[in-house]
Amino acid sequence: MARAKVLIVIGDAAEALDTLYPFFRLKEDDYEVVVAGPEKRLYHLVMHEIPPGWDITREGPSYHLASDIAFRDVKPEEYAGIFITGGRAPEYIRYDQHLMAITRHFFEANKPVASVCHGVEIIAAADVIRGKRVATVAKCAMDVQFSGGTFVNEGCVRDGNLVSGRTWHDNHLFMREFMKMLTEATAA
């Protein structure tokens, strides 16, 4: 029997812990992880932290991760779920119309979707969070509100097929729920 596939969306400046924790957690439960980016190439991940005494996030270089496929080549019907990572990548990849179509597919098909931190910029741009409760980093609350959602400052918020978290600090909370959602979806 073929393993269920889960798509992870990245671009340059995707946050390393937002991305790598789910990348390996999904593999741990034997899902086939497929990394998608604007192009099939190597991407530069970053590390985000708020140093003591700072009010804003400091960004530093981190690991690299290659995408397996370009957004334009993704056939979303082949995937059981999608994970939308954070970092600064969502600021620019949300303009990719192929990614918008992919994102809308998962909501229209009621498949599991996970979003963390700035990943909300993608689901907000896809216009799929109207009426939904969504967690994200506080500085992205406006993206949720302008898109018709309700910002919730919690580590794990599930609303229908969407589970969301604020930052990588919440990985252990929302990933547990995402794994449960994938198990239920693939068993059906």
Residue range 154-164: mean pLDDT, rounded: 98
Is residue 70 over pLDDT 90? yes
CA distances in angstroms from 87 to 25, 108, 122, 184, listed in the order given: 19, 26, 12, 29
- Residue whose token pair is 């995707």: 14
Residue 16 has a pLDDT of 98
Check the CA dihedral 111-27-89-142 and report its sign.
positive
What is the domain count for the chain?
Answer: 1
Task: Give me the CATH number covering residue 19.
Answer: 3.40.50.880
Is residue 165 over pLDDT 80? yes
Region of poorest pLDDT, from 24-28, 54-58, 98-102: 54-58
CA distances in angstroms from 184 to 7, 81, 110, 123, 177, listed in the order given: 17, 11, 12, 22, 11
Residue 1 has a pLDDT of 56
In 17-138 the beta strands, taken as DSSP E runs, fall at: 32-37, 42-49, 58-66, 69-70, 81-84, 113-116, 133-135
What three-state secondary structure class fits 150? Answer: strand
Residue range 165-173: mean pLDDT, rounded: 97
Residue 188 has a pLDDT of 79
Residue 11 has a pLDDT of 98
Could you give the percent of the chain with pLDDT greater than 90? Answer: 92
What three-state secondary structure class fits 9? Answer: strand
pLDDT band at residue 50 using 50, 70 and 90 as cut-offs: confident
Give the whole-angstrom CA distance, residue 27 versus residue 33. Answer: 7
Catalytic pick from 48, 118, 169, 172?
118
Alpha helices by DSSP H, listed for the chain, are: 16-28, 89-93, 97-108, 120-125, 141-146, 171-187
Domain that holds residue 100: 5-187
Is residue 92 over pLDDT 90? yes
Residue range 16-32: mean pLDDT, rounded: 97
Burial class (CB in 10 A: 0-12, 13-18, 19+), 133: middle
Residue range 55-68: mean pLDDT, rounded: 92
Residue range 167-172: mean pLDDT, rounded: 96
Q: How many residues does the chain have?
A: 188
Give the CA diameter of the chain. 53
Residue range 127-151: mean pLDDT, rounded: 97
Residue 134 has a pLDDT of 98
- Written as six digits, the tokens of 152 are 């919730």
Is residue 44 annotated as part of the catalytic site, yes or no?
no
pLDDT band at residue 111 using 50, 70 and 90 as cut-offs: very high
Residue range 52-70: mean pLDDT, rounded: 93
Average pLDDT, the chain: 96
Q: Residue 137 contacts by C-beta under 8 Å, 6 or more apart in sequence?
A: 86, 117, 118, 166, 167
